[in-house]
Amino acid sequence: MHNAAFHALGLDAVYVPLPCRPDDVPALLTGLARGGGGGNVTVPYKEAAARAVDRLEPRAETLRACNTFWADDGYIAGDNTDVAGVLAALDQLDPPDQPWLVAGTGGSARAVAGAARERNVPLAVRSRAPERAAAFVRWARELGVAVVEADHCGVLINATPLGLGAKDPAPIPADVAPGAQVGLDLVYAPGETAWVRGLRARGLRAADGRDMLVAQGVAAFERWFPGVRAPRDVMRAAVSAALR
């Protein structure tokens, strides 16, 4: 997606994956930013990245989760473009005016909570680890998000890695929120995930994470190259080609 955008605009840049260990996050971000670069941070390092940068934009500061960083006048700046991605993806599905149920408690789930806060939507939380769910609920309430029971929810959002494996269970079983009308899977995979296909078979409006991926990518691109408009159509076409 990003390399297609760089090529389309003739930018002297390349986007590559750099594996690292948790303790390496601060040094890696510092080295890349001081060299004039930037990048994204994926699970499970978004909270570590928020602690590692010098200055956080308001969304990342609020959520304490950073997925985008860049050099800014000698400092390392960080933002959370996942919130914009969640909102853009949900808007494509015409969500009902009902609470959201999020599966997960990590950095992506924090972005969902941030999006709920901006839309003033109540949230329910589902996790396989009860203690993490309880901590997430406390944090969401401190954020100003109302927390409700799952069976009141009309929108289902998977913010876990479940779905990347062919034998993964459904992140949110069908009986948890029987009145749901919309499902958004932040996971993306060729041919969509089994959960998304199952939701659609039940009559829900559903999509995987590719629209979120493009929207957060556009926002990240425009942090790295201030004043340059991201070629959204090029980026979407690259994602669509990769996920056929």
Q: Residue 209 in 3-state DSSP? A: coil
pLDDT over 90 (residue 167):
no
> Do 2-80+213-242 and 83-208 have matching folds?
yes
Query: 2-80+213-242: what CATH class?
Result: alpha beta
According to the model, what pLDDT value does residue 164 have? 85
- 27 conformational bin, left if phi > 0, alpha if psi -120 to 50, beta if neither: alpha
Domain boundaries, the chain: 2-80+213-242, 83-208
Three-class HEC string of 175-193? CCCCCCCEEEECCCCCCCC
The catalytic residue among 2, 46, 223, 236 is 46
What's residue 141's pLDDT?
A: 98
| Whether residue 52 has pLDDT greater than 90 | yes
Q: Is 167 a catalytic residue?
A: no
Q: What is the pLDDT of residue 18?
A: 95
Fold for domain 83-208? Rossmann fold (3.40.50)
What is the reported pTM? 0.91
| pLDDT interval class at 191 (50, 70, 90) | confident
CA distance 27 to 33: 10
Judged against a pLDDT cut of 90, whether residue 25 lies above it is answered with yes
Structure tokens at 200: 């659609």
